[in-house]
């Protein structure tokens, strides 16, 4: 398996090996449309891009990053993890719109409260290597919209995008760590979700459009983020005419994204458009398309449901991972819930070789999923904050979600 620096060395060379992608043939259909887009590209399936857990000492990470702000809570690696869900930037805010100012505020608030970004691939593999006293958080970016990732005329990342804001914060706060965003891409949707399109496809010469896409994908891989499939152009899987069409929307979508990735990059995460499953539900996990080609999604992201359990929990199901839409006030309320009752918050022990948990969580430990890690029961489980006199009880630890993208 390759590490991140090796990915950086391979990214440029990989561009010579890619095929043309689906969005190169003109505008695809918009989100939720029922017709298949015109063009799609193919690419070979490839092995994964993971790194093995290392021998970091407690309180350190394998990459020796500064710890930054942490919590004093005792370790609980059977606690829950927020998988955050973002879509567009803009104003006014709504369920699927976050102002850039508040996105930046989200990052800073989480960092200062002891949270650190990880990808879904890292969660799936149990490779959660963050400092002692910190909590993993996954940022998923749905739909590949313009405001998420835009290049200026000189080819630099626009600082007034989600990616630009992330890069700026990381430069100022190296303890935030590398990578951490999961980009769930629509390769053949219409503007503004046309593969991070900066203009409508017809308004940008194809060669320039493809060069921009390729550069962005190389940056995502180089900087340790994760690429996720969100289907070809966001058609609802429950409205597919038949099983084969549902499989084509998933499989051809993956191919069209892989056309811009190193040949040995394995896409393991899939986000359900609008949270809708195909009528034959297992087709979201694996299927065939294009004369017998196969896809396999090891992680399937739901749209809502609140914080998720960890891969060492008996309740963990990677084929149905809850997410948390960052709508107005939602993140703030969830953080307040965990401040009032931290018993369900994942807190790292700083050692990727061990899984620490309080005795109260022992019933949920899945020993067969530890993969050689050492389970360690710890004392001092956090207690829920007492409610104020005459006040309400603390809210439940898992925030409820709403249906959406």
pLDDT in tens, 8-18: 444 333 333 33
Q: How many domains does the chain have?
A: 1
Cis previous bond, 92, omega within 30: yes
Residue 289 domain flag:
yes
Distance CA 173, CA 111 (A): 9
User: Which range, of 42-46, 63-67, 335-339, averages the lowest pLDDT?
Assistant: 42-46
Query: Helix, strand, or coil here: 47?
Result: coil
∠ CA 232-264-171, nearest 5°, is 85
Contact by Cβ (8 Å): 246, 240:
yes
Residue 391 binned pLDDT confidence (cut-offs 50, 70, 90): very low
Give the Cβ contact number of residue 222 at 10 Å. Answer: 17
Residue 402 domain flag:
no
What is the predicted pLDDT for the residue at 381? 63
Counting residues of the chain whose pLDDT is more than 90, the rounded percentage is: 65
With 50 as the cut, is the pLDDT of residue 3 above it?
A: no
What is the predicted pLDDT for the residue at 109? 97
What is the predicted pLDDT for the residue at 382? 66
The CATH number of whichever domain residue 163 belongs to comes to: 3.20.20.370
User: Which range, of 59-73, 109-123, 169-183, averages the lowest pLDDT?
Assistant: 59-73
Residue 323 domain flag:
yes
With 60 as the cut, is the pLDDT of residue 4 above it?
A: no
- The alpha carbon torsion through 349, 352, 353, 359 (nearest 10 deg) reads 40
Which residues are CB-neighbours of 113 under 8 A, at least 6 positions away? 69, 71, 135, 335
Residue 21 domain flag:
yes
Residue 169 binned pLDDT confidence (cut-offs 50, 70, 90): very high
Residue 204 binned pLDDT confidence (cut-offs 50, 70, 90): confident
Residue 391 domain flag:
no
Please name which of 116, 87, 127 lies closest in space to residue 404, comparing C-alpha atoms: 87
Counting residues of the chain whose pLDDT is more than 70, the rounded percentage is: 78
Q: Which residue has the higher pLDDT, 45 or 106?
A: 106
Distance CA 339, CA 353 (A): 28
Label residues 110-145 b or e (16+ Cβ within 10 Å = b).
Answer: bbebbbbbbbbbbbbbbbbbbbbbbbbbbbbbbbbb
Residue 65 binned pLDDT confidence (cut-offs 50, 70, 90): confident
Please name which of 59, 308, 365, 83 lies closest in space to residue 357, comparing C-alpha atoms: 365
Local structure of residue 220 (DSSP, 8 states): H
pLDDT in tens, 117-164: 999 999 999 999 999 999 999 999 999 988 899 999 898 999 999 999
Residue 81 domain flag:
yes
Residue 200 domain flag:
yes
Contact by Cβ (8 Å): 301, 120:
yes
pLDDT in tens, 228-248: 999 999 999 999 999 999 999
pLDDT in tens, 269-318: 999 999 999 999 999 999 999 989 999 999 999 998 899 999 999 999 99
With 50 as the cut, is the pLDDT of residue 21 above it?
A: no
Residue 110 domain flag:
yes
Domain ranges, residue 55:
4-378
């Amino acid at each position: 398996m390759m590490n991140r620096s090796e990915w950086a060395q391979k990214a440029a060379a990989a561009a010579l090996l890619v095929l043309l992608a689906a969005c190169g043939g003109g505008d695809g259909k918009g989100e939720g449309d029922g017709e298949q887009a015109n063009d799609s590209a193919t690419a070979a399936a490839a092995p994964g891009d993971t790194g093995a857990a290392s021998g970091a000492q407690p309180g350190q990470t394998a990459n020796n990053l500064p710890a930054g702000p942490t919590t004093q809570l005792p370790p609980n690696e059977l606690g829950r993890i927020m998988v955050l869900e973002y879509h567009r930037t803009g104003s006014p805010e709504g369920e699927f719109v976050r102002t850039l100012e508040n996105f930046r505020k989200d990052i800073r608030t989480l960092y200062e409260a002891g949270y650190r970004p990880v990808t879904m691939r890292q969660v799936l593999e149990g490779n959660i290597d963050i400092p002692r006293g910190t909590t993993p958080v996954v940022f998923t970016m749905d739909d590949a919209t313009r405001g998420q990732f835009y290049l200026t005329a000189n080819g630099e990342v626009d600082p007034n995008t989600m990616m630009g804001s992330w890069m700026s914060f990381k430069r100022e706060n190296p303890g935030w760590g590398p990578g951490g965003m999961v980009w769930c891409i629509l390769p053949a949707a219409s503007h503004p979700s046309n593969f991070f399109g900066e203009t409508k496809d017809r308004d940008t010469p194809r060669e320039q459009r493809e060069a921009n896409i390729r550069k962005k994908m190389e940056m995502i891989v180089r900087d340790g983020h994760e690429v996720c499939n969100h289907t070809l152009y966001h058609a609802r899987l429950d409205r597919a005419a038949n099983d084969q069409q549902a499989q084509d929307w998933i499989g051809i979508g993956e191919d069209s994204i892989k056309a811009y990735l190193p040949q040995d990059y394995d896409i393991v995460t899939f986000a359900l458009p609008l949270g809708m499953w195909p009528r034959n539900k297992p087709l979201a996990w694996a299927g065939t398309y294009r004369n017998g080609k196969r896809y396999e999604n090891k992680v399937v992201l739901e749209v809502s449901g609140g914080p998720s359990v960890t891969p060492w929990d008996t309740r963990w199901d990677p084929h149905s991972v809850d997410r948390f839409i960052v709508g107005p006030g939602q993140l703030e309320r969830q953080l307040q819930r965990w401040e009032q009752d931290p018993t369900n918050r994942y807190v790292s022990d700083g050692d990727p070789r061990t899984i620490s948990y309080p005795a109260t969580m022992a019933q949920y430990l899945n020993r067969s999923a530890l993969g050689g890690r050492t389970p360690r029961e710890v004392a001092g489980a956090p207690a829920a904050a007492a409610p104020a006199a005459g006040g309400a009880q603390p809210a439940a630890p898992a925030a409820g979600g709403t249906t959406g993208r």
